[in-house]
Structure 1
């Protein structure tokens, strides 16, 4: 609007120049919350692993029932996630620089959103660590499997050696080394199917044992049956361990998903509480004081 000013009078416009609005996201506060949440979770997970509260080995405490240790590990992990994310969310809400351009409700929402960003950032960081650990574990398992496969066969054996051996079973070898290598290949072949040795292979093994140990046929047959029973028992134990590990993995995945959702709510609430304490200049004199 034009102003009519007397001659010789100058009007100076003192309206502030428009200032570009910066982002409402306070990344330094978010990073601080992620660091705190990660540090707390690592410390508590290490402590829990030291006393056997982990999903890797439920027999960490001798004499304790497996189900009791499992429940304890689940509750401990739930506590770790919720407490660490709430601590990180509170710190972020307390450190966030508030822009006084919104109502108190809007400020609470922004504080809570920063808590969710702490939760999301820590989850991504934890997932990256977990993927690295799974990769290392997979390499170790692959190495162990290769070693076990090598131990079950001769050094220079190939998958076709078992079938080649069947071409020359007209006579029993008398060399103990040759007999041992052939017996290893027979058991390796049975492990690829259902773990059962065919009647033909069993009879041949009895002949191998009898010819190389000079045992009577009855004693050689009893020795082969004993070894077969021991291998079958070990196989059953391994299958049961695999079943338990699979079920444990399913339960652990469900627990992680459920606790992650609960911890997201906790981080949102704690960040709002930290923002309220920031605005009210709340001092926890009983915990933090000047010395």
Structure 2
């Protein structure tokens, strides 16, 4: 373009260049700031919610707390904490992001929202790493305790090889006798009979029932009928414990499935919230919006 300059006036033409043209649109410092804020808010609110929840759960008095109510309350609090923390981090990132003036408003909003999604992804990965680290530490502690118990048991147990062998039950059947035997040996053999039944459907064979009743009668001196009643009661108790364990495993499995679906849903809602909050932060940045009632000079 040609400019006619008045006499005696010098015009210097300059070309505006910016390093932004050569850099990425991703503003990593703003994203990191959002991740730190989101993680900190989540940690504080989850700790606070845990303290309040444990304060209301008094297991020493009255009826036990309703697990359904506890689960709903915990899930609701966790969802609110997760969404609000990600939105706070997304808003901060959108407000701090340096805007590139080579795009219209729609494109700028999209870039702000993308920064919010990066905050969501980074905070989610950081939270997962912390959670996995905590689970790993707990697993190591449990493994160490189990190893200690196993070592102690192996040091004090007598006749361990006879009790643990996979063929011990079948060997016992060849040497069965209804005559009085050592009480400890009878207990171990009864344990092997129950263990063998647990490998199947949990039912104790009729021959094993009759044998156990004879051993109990021979070692205790009670009538055969009473000995049979004791054996039937013990078998019923073992079966009830087995059914309780199966039910507990089923509940734990269903709980894990529901928890996984809820976690995935809450993460999706949090992603939407972080995207929207980052766009809102970018709009406030462009409009120089100041919340004078909250952020003001003292």
- 1:87 is matched with which residue? 88
Assess if the C-alpha contact under 8 Å between 2:178 and 2:214 holds in 1: no
Q: Normalising by the residue count of structure 2, what TM-score does the alignment of the two structures yield?
A: 0.79
- 1:100 is matched with which residue? 101
Report the CA distance shift for 1:225/1:145 in structure 2 as closer, same or farther (over 3 A).
Answer: farther
Q: Is the deviation greater in 21-30 or in 216-225?
A: 216-225
- 1:207 is matched with which residue? 214
Please state how far the C-alpha of 1:173 moved relative to its aligned partner. Answer: 5.4
Assess if the C-alpha contact under 8 Å between 1:85 and 1:267 holds in 2: yes
CA displacement 1:227-269 (0-9 Å, x = unmatched) = 1121122222222211211111121111111111111110001
DSSP 3-state at the match of 1:97 = coil
Report the CA distance shift for 1:227/1:52 in structure 2 as closer, same or farther (over 3 A).
Answer: farther
Report the CA distance shift for 1:49/1:221 in structure 2 as closer, same or farther (over 3 A).
Answer: farther
Assess if the C-alpha contact under 8 Å between 2:93 and 2:278 holds in 1: yes
Show structure 2 runs of 5+ residues with no match.
2-10
DSSP 3-state at the match of 2:166 = coil
The alignment yields a C-alpha RMSD, in angstroms, of 3.3
Which structure features the higher share of helix residues?
2
**Cα distance between partner residues in 2 of 1:48 and 1:129:** 18
Match of 1:169 among 155, 160, 176: 176
Please state how far the C-alpha of 1:276 moved relative to its aligned partner. Answer: 1.6
Please state how far the C-alpha of 1:51 moved relative to its aligned partner. Answer: 4.2
2:270 aligned with 1:263? yes
- 1:195 is matched with which residue? 202
Q: Normalising by the residue count of structure 1, what TM-score does the alignment of the two structures yield?
A: 0.81
Report the CA distance shift for 1:242/1:175 in structure 2 as closer, same or farther (over 3 A).
Answer: same
2:224 aligned with 1:223? no
Pairing of 1:5-84 with structure 2 (within 5 A): 14-15=14-15, 19=19, 21-52=22-53, 63-84=64-85
